[in-house]
């Protein structure tokens, strides 16, 4: 749900993207990485992996970068949707990014004002899990499939 993430491990890739580098969809070896192996393994076991991004438009530079390489996540088996923030005004959303696991556990990611990760919070509180499930499903229902989303 953030428009900017400051992830030190991405600095070189973002700099290359700024300079014009784009991943070649036909050269999987040049962009395949450990996370995508994990996605393939999970999906092959029948796990459904869905990612929804609530974004401001026009997209921040960071999210334009993410969009340009998101086809790699889709190729690995993730389902991805984008929801412009203006279409989420009437949705009750958690205050932090989160991952929902097996409808039982929520991991919240906490960031500082510059988008740097500060901590993680894990909960199995049924009320919190249910709230996150409802929020995610509402975003998912309105979201635009990655293949159809045209960033502004």
Pairing of strands 144-145, 79-84: antiparallel
Instruction: Say what the pTM is.
Output: 0.92
The CA distance from 81 to 53, in Å, is 6
Options 1.10.1060, 1.20.140, 3.40.1350, 3.30.870; CATH of 8-145? 3.30.870
Residue-wise pLDDT for 63-110, tens only, equals: 999 999 999 999 999 999 999 999 999 999 999 999 999 999 999 999
Which residue, 111, 86, 99, 102, is CA-closest to 135? 99
Task: Determine how many CB atoms are found less than 10 A away from the CB of residue 78.
Answer: 20
- Supply 31's token pair: 């962009």
Find out whether 83 and 53 touch, Cβ atoms under 8 Å: yes
Taking phi over 0 as left and psi of -120 to 50 as alpha, with beta for the rest, 136 belongs to alpha
Residues 2-45 pLDDT 10s? 999 887 778 888 999 999 999 999 998 888 888 899 999 999 99
């Amino acid at each position: 749900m953030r428009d900017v993430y400051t992830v030190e491990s991405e600095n070189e890739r973002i700099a290359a993207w700024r300079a014009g580098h784009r991943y070649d969809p036909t050269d999987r070896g040049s962009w395949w990485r450990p996370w995508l192996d994990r996605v393939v393994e999970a999906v092959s076991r029948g796990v459904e992996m869905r990612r929804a991004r609530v974004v401001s438009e026009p997209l921040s530079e960071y999210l334009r970068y993410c969009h340009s390489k998101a086809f790699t996540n889709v190729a690995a088996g993730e389902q991805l949707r984008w929801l412009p923030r203006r279409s989420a005004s009437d949705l009750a959303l958690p205050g932090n990014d989160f991952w929902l696991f097996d409808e039982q556990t929520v991991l919240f990611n906490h960031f500082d004002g510059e988008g740097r990760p500060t901590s993680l919070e894990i909960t199995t509180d049924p009320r919190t899990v249910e709230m996150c499930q409802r929020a995610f499903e509402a975003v998912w229902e309105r979201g635009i499939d990655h293949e159809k989303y045209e960033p502004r």
